[in-house]
Structure 1
Amino acid sequence: MKTDFNIRDKPRRIGLVEGHLDIIRDYLSATVSNCPDLEIAMGAETVPQLLQRTTQLDLVVLDLAHLPDKSTPADNVMALQNAGISNTIVLTLGDDRRLVQQAAKAGVLSIVLKKASRDVLVEALRAGVIGDPMPTADWAASIDHDPHAPEWKPQERVIIELFASGLLAADISAILKITGPELTAEIRSIIKKYRNADSKIPQLSPKEREVFRLYAYGQGAKGIAQSLGITNNTVWTHIKKVKYKYERVGRPCNTRSEMRQNAIADGIIPEP
């Protein structure tokens, strides 16, 4: 989606949260080296570290899968918003469907693969710094394949499917016979609706997720306790909390078989 922008006296400040910080910071800096309107101003391995260093940012570029604190996209987007940073895009390998869906549900403005072209990345950055969404095929596909997505209106469904097919915004506007601003308004509505929809995917803490993962793989409480350096009682406390959270959203999680099925469905463990 093409975005109009004006070069200001000072470039828009972009923050980076990335597990492989030095490599990706150098890559982003090289990507925007010929863009006087953009600056990679600060980087950190976690959102709390970034916020300790600065909150004066127009946009944060967020990784999903390699953050050392194992934080969730929802937690990170919320922490940034609470600090006054409302614009976030994701730069990811895209190899974890669950995390990509969580990022889309958290309301990020774009999801860009690390293998994307420089032009696509720059366009997403320029849109993001002014708060404009730039849908990508990966963003749309993550929504389209979410079994817990809300009920879409016919035009919303068409827009999601067209973006998921790889079409660009200009082509979609032409197909639907609407203007660029009208399409942007539709996209904003989709993002808001997806973010606010009741989800049947429980929000687990990092420790609950790790215990759940190991238990769903078939490990016993004693083995999990030894692996994580916690007590058996703590393991069972986490398992009870996981079961309770799944039951609250109407998904049975009483037996090990049900727990395994839920873990596979939510991308916590891979399909066999």
Structure 2
Amino acid sequence: MIEIGAIDNDQMLLEGMSAWMSRLPDITLTALAVSVDEFLAATRRPRIVILDLNLENFTDPADNVRRLVAVGHTVVVVSVIPDPVYIAATTEAGASAYVLKANNLGVLADVIRQVAAGETPMTTEHAFWLGRDARPERPQLSAREREVLVSYGSGCTVEAVGRVLGIAPGTVRTYLDRIKEKYARAGRPIEHRVQFLDRAREDGFGRGRLPPK
């Protein structure tokens, strides 16, 4: 029997995954956690770990992989999107596989079996994106746009960003629209909020801290 752990801040997803895997004859999910810290603090930690790429505590995905690998875990990263930067970063950090959540759970189960056998499986999307340029175009953002990108990405509301930067909420929204437009032109669209912070990290603009007043 292959024992695995899972780290994901989506409790419903964890419960659904656990229920599905309970029906498999050779895989059992024995440890659930919403953060790497919680998982590492547990007394029972299976060697193989399914790790969500974007945890809500804004921890760096590659750092999360490194922390787990450093204490002997084998990491399978799961993500909503095939982001080439993070595929490359987590692979370099020691992840054994990268699987899209859009795949059916049978794909994930097959990957787990391969990892348990000591293989380093590469799913179709993994191979495709690693074969592309892992350093995509960085759009030219103004200093103010970078501040808005980091502040909004860190979890601040539009109103809070405006207060910190001394601009009106409407102006903040205009900056956000410009930022999304520039990233879309660079082939790196921002489709949901967490990707604002992703783009800031990828391009070295910050890790989510508020800019100084």
TM-score by length of 1: 0.50
Aligned residue in 1 for 2:29: 40
Cα deviation code 1:25-80 (max 9, x no counterpart): 22222332232321111111211111011463120001112x12211222111111
Cα deviation code 1:87-138 (max 9, x no counterpart): 1111211154432332233232221111212321210111223432111111
Measured on the aligned residues, the alpha-carbon RMSD in Å equals 3.7
Aligned residue in 2 for 1:74: 62
Aligned residue in 2 for 1:145: 132
Cα distance, 1:119–1:229 mapped onto 2, change above 3 Å: same
Q: Distance in 2 between matches of 1:51 and 1:110?
A: 20
Q: Secondary structure at the match of 1:90?
A: strand
Q: Distance in 2 between matches of 1:47 and 1:25?
A: 14
Cα distance, 1:132–1:95 mapped onto 2, change above 3 Å: closer
Cα distance, 1:70–1:228 mapped onto 2, change above 3 Å: farther
Q: Distance in 2 between matches of 1:71 and 1:88?
A: 16
Cα distance, 1:217–1:125 mapped onto 2, change above 3 Å: same
1:191-202 equivalence runs, <5 A: none
Cα distance, 1:62–1:218 mapped onto 2, change above 3 Å: closer
Of the three residues 112, 119, 131, the one matched with 2:99 is 112
CA contact (8 A) 1:32 1:39 kept: yes
Identity of aligned residues (%): 23
Q: Distance in 2 between matches of 1:144 and 1:103?
A: 15
Cα distance, 1:57–1:31 mapped onto 2, change above 3 Å: same
What is the total number of aligned residue pairs between the two structures? Answer: 163
Structure showing greater Rg: 1
- Alpha-carbon offset, residue 18 of structure 1: 0.8
CA contact (8 A) 1:58 1:129 kept: no
Which has a greater percent of helix?
A: 1
CA contact (8 A) 1:16 1:61 kept: yes
Q: Which runs of 5+ in 1 are unaligned?
A: 1-10, 150-200, 202-212, 232-259
TM-score by length of 2: 0.62
Q: Distance in 2 between matches of 1:79 and 1:116?
A: 26
CA contact (8 A) 2:99 2:108 kept: yes
Q: Secondary structure at the match of 2:199?
A: coil
